[in-house]
A and B are shown apart, each in its own frame.
Chain A
Amino acid sequence: MGFKKVDLDDLKTRISPNFLGIPIREGGKLVEKSYREKKIESSYSGTASEILILNEEFIDFHYSNDGTRTSAQGNGNISIFNNSIKDRLWDANLQFSGSQFNNQDIENNIDLGIFEPNSNKVLKYEIVSSEELPDLVKIHETIENLTEDVKKNVVPNEDSNLKEKRFRNYLLLLERENKIKFSISIINVSNTVLEEIKFKKYFPENFYDTEFESSKSKDFKITRNSVECPIHSLKPGEKAEITILSKLFPKKKENIITGKLELTFTLPYKVISGVKVNHFSAYSHAMHAIKKAEKNYAPNHWQCSLIFENHSDFKMKLKSILIYDKSHSKKILDLNLSSNGDTIIHPRGKYTTTYFDFIDEKEPTFSRKVEYSVDFKTEGHSKVSSIYDESTFKIASVLIKKKLAEGEIKSFEQTSINSRIIINNRGTLPIKGLRITERIPEDFLPPRDITKYELYRSSGALDLEDIELILSPDDEDPSHEHLIELNINLKNDNMDSVIEVDDFLELKYPLKAITPDYKKAYNFPLKVYSFYPKYQESNQDEYFIIMDDLSKMDQSAIKISHRRRKLMIGKEIFPGRSSDEFAIYIVAKNGSNIKLNDVSVTDTFPTSFELISSNLDHKFVKAKKNGENKITFTIDTLQPYQEREIMYYLKNIGSKNAKHSELESFFVG
């Protein structure tokens, strides 16, 4: 009816059906004796058992996402197994050493006491100076956005950010499907074969349509938020490559992580810290005796020998035999049995020394000391776990708006219109540089002078030094199209960024419409190339370039319409007070919703009439021979839907009576 007293440590940490709740993880300060819960695999074969000293080390490395190791922690368990199913061990003693221990200068000498059959004890130690432990594997992860709209200006060595000491920016395009390729290479940089490798890549939930490929394994284990890839082994210098293709569709501006990496593997037959078991000794069942036989032919002459019998199931290592006479004054036998290799006595085996003679009247007695121990074997391995931090994807998104000051302009008339472009940075990464290209159709002319281009941010106007204008062709011929290219902060790279996150850039410039034709449709294709730095805080000109087309966002077309037809110019002739007098009444009605300038109305009248007066300034051209007089009125402005009246008076100065019909023609207005 066995009960066992337990202490607080047992209660909190020990795994047992007697305890309810989750155990607290055991800490690893040297030296704590414990028992291994794992069932011991007995190697008992009926005749021989063994002592196994197993040193297992557990090391956790942590790396940041630039590949720098940020922490290393490790501890070890030295487990001593008595695999015999019947033999006990006692007076067990273990010495071990290692440069990584807390008490480095002291050789650790542990008295382990008694081992019951089929039992074990565990010594725990913590590895100090773990930061000096070497890296055993290198992981390079390259993340590429395969979306067509993402280009790169420079194609340098496509090394991973884990190798470079720079933080790389990973871009995602907002409200678009992004195809992401993760290329991961695992290289064994140690001089040992690595086994039982498990690689795990975590994904946030945003990813879908994920595909995997590996040069070393086909056996992917996929869970909701991770993919696990077992790799059997990696030889020194060998590389395993894993490619993961996945898709993402960021619907809003949010932080999406790339997913951390986890790698675990075993280093067989090796402990990383250099901890060594220097000595182990323990006793088990053995018998030693001195056989004494008086010689038949020589009374009082004794032929003696020492016998050592191994009564246990272990192999025994016989180290030395020292025999003195009874008074301990004369050394009779001194055998160092370890000098020429170990002297192993097998289970149930026996060792007998050579005979030695002794003369004594009585049966001789001796003082003897026999040094022996059970034999043992040592094994060791390390289990290493490495975690690589994830990065965060940056969202790249711009919103482009273009406004022409005149939505509609008059056809066949030279007009100056103001073009206004606004670019908003809706992403999570500042835009380092911009290239704005706009195709100006024929009949329009962009300004050739860079000073006509005004660029503003919320912090003020941009310096012209940071702007480069390339106009092609650089002429003032409206018969063909022109291409404006504005490069901002690309040549001199003076600014940290052109548009900060949530900021905007406004571009204004005047555009001349040179007699546009209302029958034509004029489009102004605008493209904005945003340059995002490939690396964070990097001065190198390595960019991701993302092109946004205005046509996808907002049409940039100008409507040319013949709006003067909405200007109604009416003419009415009234007879005057006498039959030779006439009043000409002209009305100009602006039937449109736009302001009309310089409305010109020209009327003609026969030379037989004389202009008396008019209510508006006019220009009068007297007819040449057989011609007609021409009178022109100019209305400076006609506001939308405004009506203006022009009245002028004519008097017949000819001999004939004036006819009304003579005044009804040649009206230009």
Chain B
Amino acid sequence: MNLQFYETMDDKSKEYLLYLTDQIQPKFTQGELKIFLKDIAAKPLEGSKGAKSKISNIYVKIGDDVGKSADLSKLNEENLKIIFQIFISREKNDRLAIKWRFYKYLKYMLELNIKSIQVNRDPKPDRFIDFIIHTEDNQVFLALCNDILDLNNYNKACKEVVNFAKKENLLPDRVIFTTSKSFRNIPLDTPIKIVSKEIKPELFVEWVEENRRFKKEDLLLINDSTLKLAGFNFSSTEDLLNYVYKYTSGGQISIFRQLEFFTEVSDDDPEVELIWKGIMLKQ
């Protein structure tokens, strides 16, 4: 049994789904979960003064309630199923799935010190700018998520970035396009001209390493179990190492895998393999 598709799972019980979704890292905060559920249900958030963005009514701050982990046990089975399909099996690859997986990735993206993130809560399908990210060094990034990025969508998105910047008087420092798949004719070498500023677009693709050293079903143990992670959280070794770098204090790191921990009945003598050993230096 593996975690490839929801439909092929033997056990679809709420308890098991809850057990798995509880392993998703980084964990949802209460605020994030609320926005996420509204977003995937295509319902706009009700306006609230505290959450309202200064830039526009359609952007709300997200992730500013650090430490308030969401309680997934209150979710119904349908919601758990969607969360499973987006974050665990990753069988959903539509624009919203890419958007929320990228949001998770933002949390441990290297060299990114997030001050705040604003998420687009407009449910219109043709919206392009999904996240406005403010960093500690006062930079602004715009992130635009796609399932398949073709030239037509790209050009439309560039126009929207320019219009948005002019309308809101906000000059971004980086414009990031994220996608599951991209056509090869995206002109990444052509800067986007916003007023007098030229910004080179960046493309992030969802990278799945075919021969990675662990499986979705594995439990990943960092050093002496200081950190335990589910394999399905990471699509490549580099992805895992980024997370470990961000959420450990660094130093000598050994990563072990406990085979098929999440799908097989555990035995007394679990099979554990070393999959990575090295030093992570942190300043």
Q: Which A residues are within 8 Å of any B CB, using their own CB?
A: 1-8, 11-12, 16-24, 39-40, 85-88, 90, 116-118, 285
Point out the residue from A1, A11, A88, A116 that lies within 8 Å of B182, measured CB to CB. Answer: A11
* Most-contacted residue by chain B among A11, A23, A87 (CB, 10 A): A11
> In the assembled complex, which residues on chain B have CB atoms less than 8 Å from the CB atom of A39?
210-211
Can you show 18 pairs from A to B with CB atoms below 8 A apart? A1-B206, A2-B236, A3-B101, A3-B105, A3-B207, A4-B207, A4-B236, A5-B204, A6-B204, A8-B188, A19-B182, A24-B184, A39-B210, A39-B211, A85-B213, A86-B276, A117-B276, A285-B277
> In the assembled complex, which residues on chain B have CB atoms less than 8 Å from the CB atom of A19?
181-184, 205
> In the assembled complex, which residues on chain A have CB atoms less than 8 Å from the CB atom of B234?
1-2
Q: Is the CB of A86 within 8 A of B235?
A: no
Q: Is the CB of B275 within 8 A of A6?
A: no
* Interface 1/0 per residue, B94-110 and A, CB below 8 Å: 00000001101100010
Q: Is the CB of B204 within 8 A of A12?
A: no
Interface residues of B in 169-211 (CB under 8 A from A): 178-186, 188-189, 202-211
> In the assembled complex, which residues on chain A have CB atoms less than 8 Å from the CB atom of B273?
86
Q: Is the CB of B277 within 8 A of A11?
A: no
A17 to B235 Cα, complex, angstroms: 14
Least Cβ–Cβ distance between B177 and chain A, in angstroms: 10
- Contact of B280 with A by CB under 8 A: no
Least Cβ–Cβ distance between A78 and chain B, in angstroms: 21
Point out the residue from A22, A23, A86 that lies within 8 Å of B274, measured CB to CB. Answer: A86
Q: Is the CB of B277 within 8 A of A20?
A: no
> In the assembled complex, which residues on chain A have CB atoms less than 8 Å from the CB atom of B235?
1-2
Given known contacts A4-B204, A5-B203, A117-B276, what 8 new A-B pairs fall within 8 Å (CB)?
A2-B208, A3-B109, A4-B206, A6-B182, A6-B203, A18-B181, A18-B207, A85-B213
> In the assembled complex, which residues on chain B have CB atoms less than 8 Å from the CB atom of A16?
205
> In the assembled complex, which residues on chain A have CB atoms less than 8 Å from the CB atom of B105?
1-3
> In the assembled complex, which residues on chain A have CB atoms less than 8 Å from the CB atom of B238?
2, 4
A22, closest chain B residue (CB): B184
A25 to B142 Cα, complex, angstroms: 33
Q: Is the CB of A1 within 8 A of B102?
A: yes
- Contact of B21 with A by CB under 8 A: no
Q: Is the CB of B205 within 8 A of A4?
A: yes
A5 to B204 Cα, complex, angstroms: 4
A8 to B190 Cα, complex, angstroms: 10
A18, closest chain B residue (CB): B205
> In the assembled complex, which residues on chain A have CB atoms less than 8 Å from the CB atom of B104?
1
Q: Is the CB of A3 within 8 A of B102?
A: yes
Q: Is the CB of A1 within 8 A of B277?
A: no
A21 to B151 Cα, complex, angstroms: 12
Q: Is the CB of A1 within 8 A of B181?
A: no
Q: Is the CB of B233 within 8 A of A1?
A: yes
Least Cβ–Cβ distance between B143 and chain A, in angstroms: 10
> In the assembled complex, which residues on chain B have CB atoms less than 8 Å from the CB atom of A4?
204-207, 236, 238
> In the assembled complex, which residues on chain A have CB atoms less than 8 Å from the CB atom of B239?
1-3
> In the assembled complex, which residues on chain A have CB atoms less than 8 Å from the CB atom of B237?
116
> In the assembled complex, which residues on chain B have CB atoms less than 8 Å from the CB atom of A2?
105, 206-209, 234-236, 238-239, 242
Q: Is the CB of A11 within 8 A of B203?
A: yes
* Interface 1/0 per residue, B200-236 and A, CB below 8 Å: 0011111111110100000000000000000001111
Provided the pairs A20-B182, A39-B211 are in contact, do residues A86 and B102 lie with their beta carbons within 8 angstroms? no
Interface SS majority for chain A: loop
> In the assembled complex, which residues on chain A have CB atoms less than 8 Å from the CB atom of B233?
1
Q: Is the CB of B101 within 8 A of A1?
A: yes
Q: Is the CB of A12 within 8 A of B184?
A: yes
Least Cβ–Cβ distance between A307 and chain B, in angstroms: 21
A87 to B184 Cα, complex, angstroms: 35
Interface residues of B in 125-160 (CB under 8 A from A): 148
Task: Report the 10 A-B pairs with minimum CB-CB distance, sorted nearest first.
Answer: A2-B239, A4-B207, A2-B235, A1-B101, A3-B204, A18-B205, A1-B104, A21-B184, A8-B188, A1-B105
Least Cβ–Cβ distance between B273 and chain A, in angstroms: 7
B90, closest chain A residue (CB): A1
Least Cβ–Cβ distance between B61 and chain A, in angstroms: 21
- Contact of B278 with A by CB under 8 A: yes
A90 to B186 Cα, complex, angstroms: 35
- Contact of B262 with A by CB under 8 A: no
Q: Is the CB of B188 within 8 A of A11?
A: yes
A39 to B233 Cα, complex, angstroms: 24
Interface residues of B in 230-283 (CB under 8 A from A): 233-239, 242, 273-278
> In the assembled complex, which residues on chain A have CB atoms less than 8 Å from the CB atom of B101?
1, 3
Least Cβ–Cβ distance between A352 and chain B, in angstroms: 25
> In the assembled complex, which residues on chain A have CB atoms less than 8 Å from the CB atom of B180?
18
Least Cβ–Cβ distance between B173 and chain A, in angstroms: 15
A298 to B280 Cα, complex, angstroms: 45
Q: Is the CB of A6 within 8 A of B276?
A: no
- Contact of B28 with A by CB under 8 A: no
Least Cβ–Cβ distance between A574 and chain B, in angstroms: 112
A6 to B180 Cα, complex, angstroms: 12
Provided the pairs A20-B148, A88-B278, A285-B277 are in contact, do residues A3 and B205 lie with their beta carbons within 8 angstroms? yes
> In the assembled complex, which residues on chain B have CB atoms less than 8 Å from the CB atom of A6?
182, 203-205
> In the assembled complex, which residues on chain B have CB atoms less than 8 Å from the CB atom of A87?
277
A20 to B276 Cα, complex, angstroms: 32
- Contact of B87 with A by CB under 8 A: yes
> In the assembled complex, which residues on chain B have CB atoms less than 8 Å from the CB atom of A5?
202-204
Q: Is the CB of A21 within 8 A of B183?
A: yes
B183, closest chain A residue (CB): A20
> In the assembled complex, which residues on chain A have CB atoms less than 8 Å from the CB atom of B275?
86, 117
Point out the residue from A21, A90, A118 that lies within 8 Å of B213, measured CB to CB. Answer: A118
> In the assembled complex, which residues on chain A have CB atoms less than 8 Å from the CB atom of B278?
88, 90
A87 to B276 Cα, complex, angstroms: 7
B202, closest chain A residue (CB): A5
> In the assembled complex, which residues on chain B have CB atoms less than 8 Å from the CB atom of A285?
277
A116, closest chain B residue (CB): B237
Least Cβ–Cβ distance between A214 and chain B, in angstroms: 41
B188, closest chain A residue (CB): A8
Least Cβ–Cβ distance between A33 and chain B, in angstroms: 16
> In the assembled complex, which residues on chain A have CB atoms less than 8 Å from the CB atom of B184?
11-12, 19-24
Q: Is the CB of A18 within 8 A of B276?
A: no
A538 to B254 Cα, complex, angstroms: 78
> In the assembled complex, which residues on chain B have CB atoms less than 8 Å from the CB atom of A85?
213
A37, closest chain B residue (CB): B210
A88 to B254 Cα, complex, angstroms: 12
> In the assembled complex, which residues on chain B have CB atoms less than 8 Å from the CB atom of A1?
87, 101-102, 104-105, 206, 233-235, 239
A19 to B181 Cα, complex, angstroms: 6
B189, closest chain A residue (CB): A8
> In the assembled complex, which residues on chain B have CB atoms less than 8 Å from the CB atom of A11?
182, 184, 186, 188, 203
B207, closest chain A residue (CB): A4
Least Cβ–Cβ distance between A286 and chain B, in angstroms: 13
Least Cβ–Cβ distance between A3 and chain B, in angstroms: 4
Least Cβ–Cβ distance between B186 and chain A, in angstroms: 6
A383 to B104 Cα, complex, angstroms: 46
A85 to B178 Cα, complex, angstroms: 31
